[in-house]
A and B are shown apart, each in its own frame.
Chain A
Amino acid sequence: MPAPTIAHVDLDAFFTSVEERDDPSLRGKPVVVGGSVKRGVVASASYAARVFGVRSAMPMAVAMRLCPQAVVVPHRMERYAEASAGFMAILRDYSPAVEALSFDEAFLDLTGSERLLGDGRAIATAIKQRVVRELALVASVGVAPIKLAAKIASDIDKPDGLRVITPAELLPFLHALPTSRLWGVGEVTQDKLATLGLRTIGDVARYPEAALIARLGPVWGHHLAQLARGEDPRTVVAADAPVSVGHQETFEDDVTDAHDLEPILLHQADRIGARLRRADLRAGVVVLIIKYDDFAQHTRRTTLPDPTSDGAVIARAALRLLRDVAIGAQPGRRVRLCGISTTSLEARDAPRQLTLDEGQRAKGERLGDVLDGIRGKFGAGAVKRAVHLADDDE
């Protein structure tokens, strides 16, 4: 059996690149995408911002200290989701086995595709060109016989990288890298390895596996020895249909009045409805998620009489659940986060029991389809519910 060919494709500085693409005035500036300046974390930083040491997942306050001139842009998940959908669609043209790791990152198993579409380098080049042409974004691609190496390879020449590791190059490539590049190795394990004198993956490969197991335990010892030998048992697993679609939000300031949550839940429900419709799904169960200021999380769930993709129906269910939740100004009752999750998803064209008020129900979903179309064309803010107009600064 020939060695597998696995590609790891990663969009460079995804969120900020989308923002720079949509607003050319941001180009080249240190752009930081994130939620709240007070409480949020950096979701994405442009390369210009990374120069200052700004990194993803860094508290926003720290980022602002490192780079006070950074342009902070609130994240626009709809735009990213849209770009992500386009990205994944391109990838699926090159392999049926696409494993999305996040919005902007995926593994592809190219083992079978090579005979049809050319070798790994040719496919990687084609993907990069299409991402530029169709999405005006930049992707870095790593191609290797194993997932571990493909992921490292895509990262190594970023941005706009393309690195192909052939089976013959695999071990020399891996062995030169520091142990921190091994999947699952964090600072603690890295230190442990360092005390054994193991600094590179090659060092680990040359160390007896039995000794490694004695030091790190059977699971970890075996895992690291295996990776260091260039064996990564993980295959590319094409994602199944989603099991839930949800949306949640952490607030800048805790909410102490349930009424204030209503427009937020309505907005979340609308977005969930749009995502369900985009995926041609309906949800049968609505779950309300409330996290209090003491981080206690409460969920309440309800089964809908009939599955729906209508945001208004999801919102009604969530608001009904909200009535059973204690919310107030006293500690432990202040709401830090609220969200909705929908589960029991089924395809929109799945067999189903029709209802006597089918016309009414269909109307809600059709309205949603129309609104989706308008928002797709003119942007997420093109059509809003009246209760959400006050949120606008314009």
Chain B
Amino acid sequence: MEFRIPKAEFVRGLRLAQSIADRKSTMPMLANVLLRTQGKDKLLVAATDLNVSLTAELKSTNTAEGGLTVNAKALHDLVVSAPGDTLTLKRTDNHWAEIKSGKVNYRIVGMPDRDFPKVPDPREVTFGEVDASVLREMIDRTLFSVCNDETRFHLNGVLFESSGSKARMVSTDGHRLSKVERPLPGGPQLSAGVIIPKKGLLEIKRVLEGATTAKLAVKTPHVFLQNEELSLAVKLIDAQFPPYEQVIPKDPKRSVVIDRALLVESLKRAQLMSSETRGVKLSLAAGTLTIASDNPDLGEVREEIDSDYAGDAIAIGFNPKYVIELLGQMTSDQVSLSLGGELDPGLWRPLGADDYVGVIMPMRI
């Protein structure tokens, strides 16, 4: 096996490969990246942690066929620091790789490519072309509220529902829920939602970087994403997502519209004075919203914001981090908060046509 490849092209594939390759796995092979020539002018680069798999078809000039695996991180760092614009890589005896770039010669130890796990083949699925920025935005708006507790694996990802024209993403960590809906023509036609794990979504975001369109497909048990020569296959979480509609309040009794930037600023100030277990208190009375927090070890803060509120007075506690993170994903100038009682979930929406809601359970204070 021997090929020549432009450094920039190689780095593009290896950058993602080394982020996916699993250095901590008990299977040493998973820390490696697979390099395999395809015909005369293509190099297959693949990496997997068995849940997220990357395959990249890079342009190369192949002079001898074959394959090899080497440590992904080491190869990436080495290629990035190589002096020349092109590199040649040659497999030698005992699966060593010899790399030449400019006047530098490297030899790094490798493993045979036949031991590399089989990765899902993107050529076997039918893709639809979607707007990459919409997909990215939907991920951003749900990723932050994914549950990180591994014992609740059904919540360790984002629920993705897609009709072929519209798509929906929902995530929840048990304390809050985010739901976004967007037109997504070209998206897969799914009869039921699928759960895409958090790590996979992070890699999908990486692949989407700089793209205007991307190809998307769901073929159980994977979701596939393709951006030019990079293909990602993410293993779906095989579980039932909870019936999320049930926790979205249907017709809360009280509602108030607030300036989003003002509220975020105020919450950040209150957060400085709040203790982790107590949160901040939002008190609504006719015409005003008071944001207050106190910390027995520190002190207290109170701030009044004008509001259009006309209902009866209510005070409710929230974890400021949850509200700030949610409002940070909204873009409208104004947001609405709808409330039932002080122990009922708060429903946050951007004012306008943006089809996005956040549900946050209050803190009992």
B-contacting residues of A (Cβ < 8 Å)?
Answer: 302, 305-306, 317, 320, 346, 350-358
The CA of A352 and the CA of B365, in the complex, are separated in Å by 7
Q: List 24 A-B pairs, Cβ < 8 Å.
A: A302-B151, A305-B147, A305-B149, A305-B151, A305-B152, A305-B174, A306-B174, A351-B279, A351-B317, A351-B364, A352-B364, A353-B175, A353-B363, A354-B175, A354-B343, A354-B361, A354-B362, A354-B364, A355-B175, A355-B361, A356-B172, A356-B177, A356-B361, A358-B361
Interface size classification for chain B: 20 to 34
Q: Is the CB of A356 within 8 A of B175?
A: yes
| Residues in chain B near residue A358, CB distance under 8 A | 343, 361
Q: Is the CB of B174 within 8 A of A351?
A: no
| Residues in chain B near residue A302, CB distance under 8 A | 151
Whether A352 contacts B277 in the complex (CB less than 8 A), given A320-B151, A357-B174, comes out as: yes
A-contacting residues of B (Cβ < 8 Å)?
Answer: 147, 149, 151-152, 172, 174-177, 242, 247, 277-279, 317, 319, 343, 345, 359, 361-365
The CA of A354 and the CA of B364, in the complex, are separated in Å by 7
Most chain B C-beta atoms within 10 Å of own C-beta, residue among A306, A317, A354: A354
Most chain A C-beta atoms within 10 Å of own C-beta, residue among B175, B176, B242: B175
Residue in chain B with minimal CB distance to A320: B151
Which of the residues A320, A350, A351, A356 comes within 8 Å of B345, measured between beta carbons? A356
Most chain A C-beta atoms within 10 Å of own C-beta, residue among B152, B174, B177, B345: B174
The CA of A358 and the CA of B249, in the complex, are separated in Å by 14
| Residues in chain A near residue B364, CB distance under 8 A | 351-354
Interface pairs A-B: 10 shortest CB-CB:
A354-B361, A356-B247, A351-B365, A351-B278, A305-B149, A355-B174, A353-B363, A352-B364, A353-B175, A351-B277
Q: Is the CB of A356 within 8 A of B317?
A: no
| Residues in chain A near residue B278, CB distance under 8 A | 351
Residue in chain B with minimal CB distance to A305: B149
The CA of A194 and the CA of B177, in the complex, are separated in Å by 74
Q: Is the CB of B361 within 8 A of A352?
A: no
| Residues in chain B near residue A353, CB distance under 8 A | 175, 279, 319, 361, 363-364
The CA of A306 and the CA of B247, in the complex, are separated in Å by 18
The CA of A320 and the CA of B363, in the complex, are separated in Å by 28
- Shortest CB–CB separation between residue B96 and chain A, in angstroms? 39
- Shortest CB–CB separation between residue A1 and chain B, in angstroms? 33
| Residues in chain A near residue B172, CB distance under 8 A | 356
Residue in chain B with minimal CB distance to A357: B174
| Residues in chain A near residue B174, CB distance under 8 A | 305-306, 355-357
Q: Is the CB of B175 within 8 A of A351?
A: no
| Residues in chain B near residue A351, CB distance under 8 A | 277-279, 317, 363-365
Residue in chain B with minimal CB distance to A350: B277
| Residues in chain B near residue A355, CB distance under 8 A | 174-175, 361
The CA of A354 and the CA of B319, in the complex, are separated in Å by 10
Residue in chain B with minimal CB distance to A317: B151
